[in-house]
Every structure is written in C-alpha cells, then in structure tokens.
Amino acid sequence: MSKVYLDNAATTRMHDEVIDVMVKGMKINFGNPSSTHFFGRESKAAIENVRKVIARLTGVSSAEIIFTSCGTEANNLILRSCVEYLNVKRIITTRIEHSCVQETVNSLEENQHIRIDYVRINEKGEIDLTHLEELLQNSDEKTLVSIMHGNNEIANLNPIIEIGNLAREHQALFHSDMVQTLGHYEINLEELPLDFASSSAHKYHGPKGVGFAYIKKSTALKAQITGGGQERNLRSGTENLHGILGMGKAFEMAIDHLEDKTSYVSNLKAYAISKLSEAVPNIRFNGLSENPEKSLFAVLSISLPFKDDLIGFELELRGIAVSQGSACQSGAVQKSRVLTEIYPQEFINSTTPLRISFSKYNSEKDIDTLVTALSEIAQKHSK
C-alpha cells in the first residue's frame, strides 16, 4: 500500500539537498564552534554564514537572528525574557495561539503575576482589531502583544501589519509566532512593525530540533538559557551546528523556489477544496482556511458533518496521514482547543475535524486518495 502524507503543517520531509549539506557538515565541521583553534573557527564561520544568509533573506542584520532548538524555545525565550528583562507587566494575546505561547503566558500569569488579556475573535477566528485597540488604550503598564502570523490549526493569516501598527501607536512591543509563515512566504522582518518573531526549520523541509528567534537589536533582550554565552549571549549551549547548516540550506531553497512552490501548493489546496465539496455533502471549511487570500496556502482545516472518533484509524488503514485536532505528547488525540474556542459545543460534538496540509511533495493523486476515503466514510455515516 502506498502511503500518503498530508500532515505538512506538523512537519515536512527534509529535502535531499538539506540532508547532503548536513552530512557534509558532520564529516567536515566537527570542531566546537567556541574553540579558538582552526577546527573551531571553521565551525563558527559555518554558523555565521547561515546567520548571514537568513538575515539577508529576511531583511534584518545578522545580530538580530538567534539560533534556538526549535520554535517553542524561540517563543519561550522572547515571552519570558520580555517579562524578566524588559519590565513587561501585561501580555495581550489570543486564545488560539499555539500551545507553546498559550502555556507560556499561563505560566507567566501564574508565577510572575503578569496580566494576560485576550483579544476577542469571531466565529471564523478573525481578530477584533477594535477590541485590540481598546485593550491597548486601557493601560499604562508596559505591554507586549503576542499574536501569531499564520494559525497552525485553522490556517488564518492574521493582519500583522495592522496589529503591529496598533502596538506601536500605543508604545507596546509586538511578538509574532511566525513558525507557519517564515520559509513559506517572502517576509521582510525589518519592514514589519515587529520586535520579535520565531521560526522552525522542520516546517520548511529542514531538520527538526533547530529554529531561530528574530530579536530586534534595540530591544536589548537577555538570555533564558545561561552558560557559555553563545549566540551573542542570548542563548548559551554548544550550537546545533549541523541542524543550523540544514536550516540555512532549507531556508535558501524555500525562498529560491518560492513562487513556483506557492502556486503549485495553492493549486493543490484549491483542488482539494473543490473535490471535497463535491464528495462530502455539508463539509465545513474551518476558520478562513477556504479563503485563498486570508489563509495559509498549504493548510486546509475541515469539519466532517458526523462524529467519528475512529477516523484516524480508518484513514491509517488506507495509508493516509492527516492531523486530527491536536496530538498531545502521549500521541492521544485531544479535542481541538482552537475549534472549541470559535465554535459552539453542539457543533464540536457532532462533527469530526481534520487538518490537511500540503507540500511540493504531494500530488493531485494524494488528494484523490484522501477524497475517496472520506467520501466512503461519509456514505457509511449517512446510512
């Protein structure tokens, strides 16, 4: 049975070219980048070269790119350090952020007594900018706005320029979790009204366990992980050199082939929307994920009009991998926090959500396989 992978928002298959760069680096660059001898200096130069590439491709200076172990760490570094070192007393965010932001603000509220305010969102998951402005007007405390760019579950693209401009008007800092958009869109970080952003290599065909934080120089943030002072004293620990090399190659490849990839993958998504609409009566596309202008081009979130707790298993038997709600650490499927936030309980209890996410390695044939399976399952439920 051939297998179909349609869970690219969870992680992507690495490009062969990325693996080649990493393997070469493992053979050649084994020196500790902090060592002052020749081997160390070569490793250090390899890291700095990737920093330059990423800085150039995102329009910022090299000093503003800090390598981390993942997107989760980048978000933790930014949120926690803003509280610890920049005197932030209040965070304005949404209830549909990735759990690494949600859980971190929960912890800051509980342990550091930071005030957390949630911006209202509507039933499509859209942010109420008027409410954001009201919240920003209502405080003299040092405030950080933390709102993601692309939502990993319902695919909404948030208006980060408007959000950042509002934050600036009210002297608030602005952080955006850009894990689903950096490496997928051409983004000039310098031109955005933004102080901090996060990225993760495994979302754009790079290796797992490596990412970066964008930290605007003027913000003077400090480290959460202390020790040897690596990463300009912002993140100690011997660098994941080979991961960083892979991330550099993956980022370059993502940007080099961006237009072709975007149009190929967007067409796959449009094809999936049209085929699913025909094959599954009353299917619902969640959030803005059906809207090509306002959603991630590689992510489609659907709700099937019946409850089927075994759907993951049924699709697995047919060799199809998609995402159901959010998988917790144990691998068990939990109800989607994001969908529960925007939809009434009766809808959640009577439907089955799935997230389908595409990459350049997918074809229309993969979508046909999924649509046939979902059509058969839907027919079984209509009897």
- Within 189-218, the residues that bind ligand PLP by CB under 6 A are 200, 211
By the rule CB under 6 A, 315 interacts with ligand PLP: no
Report the catalytic residues.
Answer: 328
Task: Please give the residue whose beta carbon sits closest to ligand PLP in the complex.
Answer: 71
Amino acid at site 280: V
Site string for ligand PLP, 58-97 (x = CB under 6 A): ------------xxx-------------------------
- Within 285-304, the residues that bind ligand PLP by CB under 6 A are none
By the rule CB under 6 A, 366 interacts with ligand PLP: no
Residues forming a β-bridge with 7: 357
| H or E element at residue 244 | helix 241-256
Binder to ligand PLP among 100, 108, 119, 245 (CB under 6 A)?
Answer: 100
Binder to ligand PLP among 180, 324, 336, 351 (CB under 6 A)?
Answer: 180
Segment interacting with ligand PLP, rule: CB under 6 A, options 40-48, 175-183, 224-232, 246-254: 175-183
Residue 206 neighbours by CB under 8 Å, 6+ apart: 12, 14, 18, 183, 243, 246, 247, 249, 250, 251
Least separation in angstroms between CB 153 and ligand PLP: 8
Measured from the CB atom, the residue of 103 and 133 that comes closer to ligand PLP is 103
CA–CA gap between residue 96 and residue 106 (Å, rounded): 13
By the rule CB under 6 A, 98 interacts with ligand PLP: yes
CA–CA gap between residue 355 and residue 119 (Å, rounded): 24
Cα separation values, 173 from 58, 114, 345, Å = 20, 15, 35
By the rule CB under 6 A, 176 interacts with ligand PLP: no
By the rule CB under 6 A, 254 interacts with ligand PLP: no
By the rule CB under 6 A, 25 interacts with ligand PLP: no
Least separation in angstroms between CB 55 and ligand PLP: 20
Site string for ligand PLP, 120-159 (x = CB under 6 A): ----------------------------x---x-------
Applying CB under 6 A, what is the total number of residues that bind ligand PLP? 12
CA–CA gap between residue 108 and residue 127 (Å, rounded): 23
Output the CA torsion sign for 172, 175, 176, 182.
positive
Count CB neighbours of 39 within 10 A: 15
DSSP assignment of 159-226 equals -HHHHHHHHHHTT-EEEEE-TTTBTTB---GGGSS-SEEEEEGGGGTS-SS-EEEEE-GGG----SS-
By the rule CB under 6 A, 224 interacts with ligand PLP: no
Coil, strand or helix at 26: helix
Least separation in angstroms between CB 70 and ligand PLP: 3
Binding site for ligand PLP (CB under 6 A): 70-72, 98, 100, 148, 152, 177, 179-180, 200, 211
